[in-house]
């Protein structure tokens, strides 16, 4: 299993300096991938623009959306953005896609949220039908339909985070979906988690704010943040045992010390 790290593109008060320095340090520390989140209405930097900037200041590290909310963009625009990012980064991009959970993002994009699942399928069919042939695609989501979509169109599965046992159960279902679609081998499995090492309370406040739209679940997500080296070790071991191929740990503050402490803990 490889371990990647998130860029703080949705953490408020970040700026050019914070994002670029984070990208450089992540590459220097040997992480496999830099990943970003996607939200339209939250105070954040666009995922593709963030990764393009990161591509310019790094050479080796992989770049991924984990995930981008596909239907907010038209199939053609999404394919162009992904293909462009893949090209300017020298072939380092992995496109993770999902439908997201926020209706206000859809309202802001002028897209009907009630058909977002079908819209994502259309988008994936376009990308796979020649719109984007060279980029690996991951699909997220926990419903059977989402897993079927993943198995039909994607190279792998992007899990939404949670304790290792939740990942293991989703991984079994992703493999079953893959098998059900007659795909050889297994899907590539990506997992994720949140870090809040140096300033745990501040990080958890951010998570409660970022996930406020989920109501009572925001507290649970905040409680799941990894706040110690010990918690990171357990989490990483649990994910590796469950068959995760790439684990992305996202920051919840701009504190670069978290990046260093994560690198030490591994």
Partner 1 sequence: MDVSILGAGPAGLYLAILLRKAGHTVAVHERNAPDATFGWGVVFSEETLGALHDADPPTHLEITDSFARWSRIDIRYRGEVVRSSGHSFTAIARRHLLAILRARATELGADLRFGSELEEPPQADLRVAADGANSKTRQRHFRARVSPQGCKYVWFGTDLVLDAFTFAFRETEYGLFQAHAYPFDERTSTWIVECAQGVWERAGLDTATEEESIAFCERLFAEDLGGARLRSNRSLWLDFPLVRTPSWHKRNLVLLGDAAHTAHFSIGSGTKLAMEDSIALAASLATEPTLDAALTDYELRRQPVVERFQQAAAESAGYFSRTAHYTSYEPIQFAVNLLTRSGRVTHANLAQRDPRLIRRIDSWFAGRAIAAPPVFAPFGELPNRLVAEVSTPDEVAARVADGYGLVLAGPVEVDSASPADWRGAVALKADTRLGLRLTHRGARAGAPCVAASPIPYGPFAPVPTEVSDLDAVLRAFAEHAADAAEAGFDLLELDMADGHLLAGFRSPLTNQRTDEWGDRHKFPLAVLDAVRAAFPRTLAVRLAVTDWAPGGTSVADGIAFAKELRAHGTDLVHVRAGHTLPDFRPDYQRGYLTTLSDRVRNEAGIPTLVGGYLTTLDEVNTVVAAGRADLCVLAEAP
Interacting residues with partner 1 (CB under 8 A): 117-118, 121-122, 125-126, 129, 143-145, 147-149, 152, 163, 165-166, 172-177, 179-181, 185-186, 215-217, 219-220, 222-224, 243
Q: Which is nearer to partner 1, 36 or 177 (CB)?
A: 177
In this complex, which beta carbon is closest to partner 1, that of residue 126 or of residue 261? Answer: 126
The residue among 136 and 219 lying less far from partner 1, judged by its C-beta, is: 219
Residue closer to partner 1 by CB (options 195, 221) is: 221
Peptide bond into 249 cis (omega under 30): no
Distance CA(190)–CA(134), nearest Å, equals: 19
Distance in Å, CB of 178 to partner 1, minimum: 9
CA 45, CA 36: separation in Å to the nearest integer?
Answer: 9
Q: Minimal distance in Å, beta carbon 133 to partner 1? A: 14
CB of 252 to partner 1, least distance (A): 16
What is the chain's length? 266
Q: Is 92 left (phi over 0), alpha (psi -120 to 50) or beta?
A: alpha
CA dihedral over 5, 60, 1, 81, signed as positive or negative: positive
Using an 8 Å Cβ cutoff, are 96 and 4 in contact? no
* 188 or 266: CB nearest partner 1: 188
Helical axes 116-126 vs 144-153, angle rounded to 10°: 10
Q: CB of residue 195 vs partner 1: minimum separation in angstroms? A: 18
Give the shortest CB-186-to-partner 1 separation in angstroms: 5
């Amino acid at each position: 299993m490889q371990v990647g790290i998130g860029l703080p593109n949705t953490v408020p008060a970040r700026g050019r300096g914070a994002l670029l320095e984070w990208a450089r340090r992540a590459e220097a520390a040997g992480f496999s991938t830099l990943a970003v989140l996607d939200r339209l209405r939250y105070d954040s930097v666009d995922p593709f623009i963030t990764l393009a900037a990161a591509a310019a200041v790094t050479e080796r590290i992989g770049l991924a959306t984990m995930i981008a909310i596909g239907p907010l963009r038209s199939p053609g625009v999404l394919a162009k953005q992904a293909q462009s990012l893949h090209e300017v980064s020298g072939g380092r991009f992995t496109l993770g896609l999902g439908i997201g959970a926020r209706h206000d993002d859809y309202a802001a994009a002028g897209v009907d949220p009630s058909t977002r699942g079908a819209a994502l399928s259309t988008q994936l069919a376009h990308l796979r039908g020649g719109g984007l042939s060279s980029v690996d695609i991951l699909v997220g989501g926990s419903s059977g339909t989402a897993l079927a979509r993943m198995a039909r169109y994607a190279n792998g599965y992007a899990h939404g985070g949670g304790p290792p046992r939740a990942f293991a159960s989703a991984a079994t279902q992703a493999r079953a979906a893959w098998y059900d679609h007659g795909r050889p081998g297994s899907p590539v499995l990506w997992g994720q988690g949140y870090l809040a090492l140096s300033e745990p309370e501040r990080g958890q406040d951010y998570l409660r704010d970022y996930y406020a739209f989920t109501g009572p679940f925001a507290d649970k997500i905040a409680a799941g943040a990894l706040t110690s080296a010990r918690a990171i070790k357990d989490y990483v071991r649990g994910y590796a045992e469950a068959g995760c191929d790439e684990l992305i740990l996202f920051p919840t503050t701009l504190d670069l010390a978290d990046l260093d402490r994560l690198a030490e803990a591994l």
